[in-house]
Amino acid sequence: MARLQVRRLGYALGAEVTGLDLRQPQDEDTIAAIRDAWMEHLVLVLPGQDISPEQHVAFSRHFGALDPNDATPYYRHPQHPEVLVVSNKPVNGKPSETRNTGRNWHSDLSYTGRPAMGSLLLCKERPDVGGDTMFANMYMAYETLSPRMRQFLDGLEAVHDVTLVKGIEQRSPELVAEIKRINPPIAHPVVRTHPETGRSALFVSQRVRHFVGLSDEESEPILRFLTRHAVRDEFVYRHRWTVNDLVMWDNRATMHVALADFDQSKPRHMLRCSIQGEPLGYIYRGEGATTAQPEATHRTVVASVS
C-alpha cells in the first residue's frame, strides 16, 4: 500500500493527497484509502501526476464504470472516448467546442438520466494566472437551510435542462441541435441521499429550469436563493491549478464552476474522465406527461483532437 499523506485544503471541502504515483498500478488497500478520503473531503487534489490517457482511464476505473461521454458527443479523445478534452486550443483551425465548458455552477451530466457519480480532471496546460475551478459542498448547502425550507424541498423535483449550459449557443447549430435531441429535459429529486454516506445533499444548480409542479416564474426566485445560498464563502473551495494536478470530485455532494478569470488567448487544456452514476430521474415532457427511468439513445460522434 502506498504511504498516503492527506492534507486539508479548505474548511468546507478539499484535500491534497500525496505519496501516489499513478503511472504505477495501485493496490486495493490504496484505492480504499483514497475512496475513504474522497468521501470525507469530497474534492481530492493529486498533484504531480504526469500520466497518459491510458493511465488516467485505468485509475478512474477503480471507482466505477466510466461514462462514454455519449451525452456530450464532441471533442472526445480519439483513442479513448471515456476522456473528454476540455480545452480552449483551436482544433483544425477552428475554435474548440469545449473552450467555455463549465462556466456556470453545475453537477456533471445532471441533464442526463445517469448524472456522473464522480469526475477526475487532469490539467495538462494552464494560463500563467487564473483558470481556477470552484467547488461547493452541497451537504452543507442543504443542512444549513431552515427546517421549514428543508421540509418544502424534500420530495420536490427539479427539471435540469441542457439548454441552460452556459455557452452552449456558441457551438455550431448542428451540434447544438444534436445535443438537445439526445438530452431532453429531465426531472431529478431536489434533495439526494448519498448512497455511500447516507447524508442528504441539495441537488440544484444554474442548469435547472424550474420545479415540477411550479411555473418558471414561481420557481425562479427559489432557485436563485438556493444557488446563491449553496455558494456562500464558507461552503466553497477554490482550486488554483498546477500542471499535472489530477482533481477528483464527488458530483453527488458537490457542484462546481470553471472560472473565466484568465487571458483567453492562453492555453487551458484539461482531460476529464467521469464515473457513471446510478439511473436517476425521468424525462420531463410537461405536467402529466413523463417517462420513468430513461435510457437515452446516443449517437457516437468523435472529433479529432491534437
Quote the CA–CA distance of 72 and 178 in Å, as a whole number.
9
Q: Is the pLDDT of residue 160 over 70?
A: yes
Q: How far, in whole angstroms, is CA 96 from its chain's centroid?
A: 19
Q: Which domain holds residue 103?
A: 5-278
**290 is a domain residue:** no
Half-sphere exposure (CA, 13 Å, Cβ side) for 103?
16
Residue with cell 406527461: 289
**293 is a domain residue:** no
**Which of the residues are catalytic?**
106, 108, 256, 272
**pLDDT tens column, 199-235:** 999 999 999 999 999 999 999 999 999 999 999 999 9
Beta pairing partners, 87? 269
Half-sphere exposure (CA, 13 Å, Cβ side) for 154?
10
Q: Is the pLDDT of residue 289 over 80?
A: no
**289 is a domain residue:** no
**306 is a domain residue:** no
Quote the CA–CA distance of 168 and 285 in Å, as a whole number.
21
Grade residue 295 by pLDDT with cuts at 50, 70 and 90.
very low
Looking at the structure of the chain, the number of domains it has is 1
Q: Of 255, 248, 253, give the one whose Cα is nearest residue 15.
A: 248
**105 is a domain residue:** yes
Q: What is the pLDDT of residue 1?
A: 77
Collapsing DSSP to helix, strand or coil, 293 comes out as: coil
**291 is a domain residue:** no
What single-letter DSSP state applies at residue 113? Answer: S
pTM of this structure = 0.93
Percentage of the residues of the chain whose pLDDT score is greater than 90: 81
**299 is a domain residue:** no
List the CATH number of the domain containing 220. 3.60.130.10
**93 is a domain residue:** yes
Percentage of the residues of the chain whose pLDDT score is greater than 70: 93
